[in-house]
Structure 1
């Protein structure tokens, strides 16, 4: 298995995951416009027609804003929870083939897609029925954990014994607190139990899971205003006993290139 990020942050998110030997390819979320998504896919050496499915995490625009145009143009099935579908129903474009392209699932039910075992992970976030994912190709396991307010016991259990993890490091709490552009209410929402992971909470989750097999961690969904790559690295590095070789950071503009799991 390998994965790559098209871009990660509050302006758009998308993660490409490919099974062993290129057997199957799924896109997790797409918060980019159609042309930009196509451009970023081609920069990674993939055509939209090579995507077998899009897995949606939740209804917020930076994750779902480009999903339906991409799926409509290239006839890509979209998998999402029942709650997410209800939340985004008003923005599904007219003419979108719902019958053929929309596939709903229960947030507690494991399913197969494009040769991968997909385990949805229900998360605490201010959305209708949000999930993150663990993907398994029978050899290795990749966890994707962005957009949640805290690491519940359920989340920690789901993320144990992974080989690679994409982990939200949305904000540095100190930078968030002194940001004058954000209202007090917005700061509370971001740092709250149903908001986003700060560097410290991300490190706590990482320290709590079974890391026996974990070799790669990608810090993701960093806020341009409230975080810095070096701060995210500094928070997570101690969990690796100070060894940074397995730690990388995805950014908004360039994402991150292919990483073999």
Structure 2
């Protein structure tokens, strides 16, 4: 299986996973043109995409769905609450309701030879989920936009070969930054986002013999830096889990461009 990020950050998110027979996107929070450019860098076209999985209805995850769906007529998978909110978002334009496929947290479904397992996450959206993706040869866990993690989330993400994990903000930068107080509370609350240190703790709980790579994503442009996130996560792993930075490959997803494909 192959995996990459096309965009990752507070201003737009789009992930890509594929094998020989199946190509999927997770979220379309950027323009159709940028998604197409990312796919082209992988040697893939928009017509190759078999499905679009949606995590939740916030605009940095759906703003490209309208144009994308009208151009490619790709099936759109999401929880009932998420799909209803997409339908009500007038700025997306007309989205063909026949493309919608309702999923339920905890119930796996198939897209060709990929097994997709959606699971609930604590975030201030209607019915948000993240996804674990599995094929015969690999398992990928993705999780962003969550205010905290618990044993249920750890159980959903265990035994993965690759993890894509949120490291949204540095707590000090958020506290002293320009955001209004209520927004700061929302970001740092139980239905907001993971800070760098919490991301490191989550990765530590998910260490296993299969794990090859960790990608940190959904970094805030205003409240984080890639180097800061990487160092904080590595420090958490070294201090609490005795994992040195040489022992596990950890990288940060680019905000505005596709990263190179990872093959598992």
Which range, TM-score by smaller chain? Answer: over 0.9
Per-residue deviation, 1:126: 0.4
Contact 2:109 2:117 in 1 (8 A): yes
Per-residue deviation, 1:244: 6.5
1:212-250 Cα distance to aligned partner (Å, 9 max, x none): 211100000111111111111112224242226511110
Paired residues for 1:221-236 under 5 Å? 221-236=218-233
Match of 2:54? 56
1:97 maps to 2:100: no
Runs of 4+ in 1 over 4 A off after TM superposition: 92-95
What secondary structure sits across from 1:256 in the alignment? coil
Aligned partner (choices 135, 138, 162) of residue 137 of structure 1: 135
Per-residue deviation, 1:52: 0.4
Contact 2:41 2:258 in 1 (8 A): no
Aligned partner (choices 227, 243, 246) of residue 243 of structure 1: 246
Give the gaps of 5 or more residues in structure 1: none
Match of 1:74? 72
Contact 2:87 2:95 in 1 (8 A): no
Paired residues for 1:174-213 under 5 Å? 174-179=172-177, 181-213=178-210
How does the TM-score come out when normalised to structure 1?
0.94
Q: Distance in 1 between matches of 2:127 and 2:157?
A: 19
1:95-149 Cα distance to aligned partner (Å, 9 max, x none): 53312x1111111211111320000011000000000000000221100011111
Match of 1:260? 263
Q: Distance in 1 between matches of 2:132 and 2:78?
A: 14
Residues 255 and 177 of structure 1: CA distance in aligned 2, closer, same or farther (over 3 Å): farther
Give the gaps of 5 or more residues in structure 2: 238-242
Aligned partner (choices 212, 215, 233) of residue 215 of structure 1: 212
Residues 208 and 95 of structure 1: CA distance in aligned 2, closer, same or farther (over 3 Å): closer
| Alignment RMSD (CA, Å) | 1.5
Match of 1:7? 7
Paired residues for 1:11-22 under 5 Å? 11-19=11-19, 22=20
Q: Distance in 2 between matches of 1:96 and 1:133?
A: 23
Aligned partner (choices 139, 147, 150) of residue 149 of structure 1: 147
Deviates more, 1:150-159 or 1:127-136: 150-159
Contact 1:222 1:251 in 2 (8 A): no
Paired residues for 1:26-45 under 5 Å? 26-45=24-43
Q: Distance in 2 between matches of 1:201 and 1:95?
A: 39
1:28-77 Cα distance to aligned partner (Å, 9 max, x none): 00111222222222233211000000000000000011123212211111
How does the TM-score come out when normalised to structure 2?
0.93
